Amino acid sequence: MTEQDVERVARHNEQRQREYEASDLIRLLTDENTTAETKKAVLTYLQPWSNAFQRMISARVTFESDPELRALACEHQAEEVGHDKILARSRAEDRELVWDPVIEMGASWFVDQFAILPGVQRAALAHLALEAGSLVFSQAGTRAFPDDEYFELHDEADVEHLEMGYEVLRRRGDWTPEAVITVLDRAWQVIGVVSDRIAECARRDTVAA
């Protein structure tokens, strides 16, 4: 693939990132009028997604057979292991582990895609969608929760993990911009649905309380 193909994907994905920055969940975290209780409730519903993220990256490793891409998947997994437990420590006062069908179905879609997609699309899904979304969320999270270990860790690591995806596109020739963009569009839609659900549940629980 040419550098122009990579740039085409990057421009499209950056637009998706900007759209996500305007999402209900991100605005909830960055709005000074959002109560501390509602922000804490966001973390309650983030936990099952963070737990599921461990399944996602494990599925990527399990189903990847290409040696180069498997090595990258293993590196990514090694750097992400235990992040769900760090979030749990950040929620020390909130031991509740919630279950939500929308969050679970969104996570299951990603696990399924890591099982069936071709290797480069699998890498794009991990690095250009999940990590890009995590970066946007973490940047909002550091504003909502200053000095929080979980968000500080992700704010730094996610930039590097995002760039890994573009490096894969630059090195490999076994992909097309159309196929990668289609996968990314679907992924961003799922991320959007899950994020909207987290915001909805956080508001609902704190209003009810």
pLDDT in tens, the chain (209 residues): 789 999 999 999 999 999 999 999 999 999 999 999 999 999 999 999 999 999 999 999 999 999 999 999 999 999 888 888 888 887 766 667 899 999 999 999 999 999 999 999 999 999 999 999 999 999 999 999 888 888 877 655 567 778 899 999 999 999 999 999 999 999 999 999 999 999 999 999 987 65
Q: DSSP state, 32?
A: T
Residues 6+ positions from 68 with CB-CB distance below 8 Å:
171
Chain centroid to CA 31:
21
Q: How far apart are the C-alpha atoms of 56 and 112, rounded to whole Å? A: 9
**Whether 139 contacts 156, CB under 8 Å:** no
pLDDT (0 to 100) of residue 90: 78
Q: How far apart are the C-alpha atoms of 127 and 9, rounded to whole Å? A: 13
pLDDT (0 to 100) of residue 155: 55
The percent helix, strand, coil of the chain (3-state, each to 5) is 85, 0, 15
- Phi, psi of 164, deg, nearest 5: -55, -40
pLDDT (0 to 100) of residue 156: 58
109: buried, middle or exposed (CB in 10 Å: 19+, 13-18, 0-12)? middle
User: In the numeric block, which tokens belong to residue 180?
Assistant: 């990668």
**Whether 84 contacts 53, CB under 8 Å:** yes
Strands (E), 42-136: none
Task: Give the alpha-carbon dihedral of 171, 13, 48, 98, to 10 degrees.
Answer: -170
pTM of the model: 0.93
